[in-house]
């Protein structure tokens, strides 16, 4: 059971993108910008059709790949 976010705001700070209420919306401008930069750095193709949740997962994957 999770705690009350008002008394412990970090208790629910990390949420699986699959559980996001707005995860199926278009990715944000900030996500698109950062994702495009990561794609350029890693040589991957940028996909501008991703949802917020998909973009978040792709960002995580590219950050992990960039650390190797």
Q: What is the pLDDT of residues 34-49, one digit of tens each?
A: 999 999 999 999 999 9
Tens place of pLDDT per residue across the chain (68 aa) = 455 555 665 555 667 776 766 668 899 999 999 999 999 999 999 999 999 999 999 999 999 886 76
For residue 7, the model assigns a pLDDT of 63
CA distance 28 to 56: 10
Q: Where are the alpha helices (DSSP H) in the chain?
A: 29-42, 52-67
By the 10 Å C-beta count (0-12 exposed, 13-18 middle, 19+ buried), 39 is classed as middle
């Amino acid at each position: 059971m999770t705690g009350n976010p008002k008394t412990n705001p970090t208790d629910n700070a990390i949420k699986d993108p699959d559980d996001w209420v707005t995860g199926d919306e278009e990715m944000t401008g900030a996500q698109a910008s950062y994702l495009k930069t990561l794609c350029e750095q890693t040589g991957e193709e940028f996909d501008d059709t991703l949802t917020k949740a998909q973009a978040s997962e792709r960002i995580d994957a590219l950050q992990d790949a960039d650390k190797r």
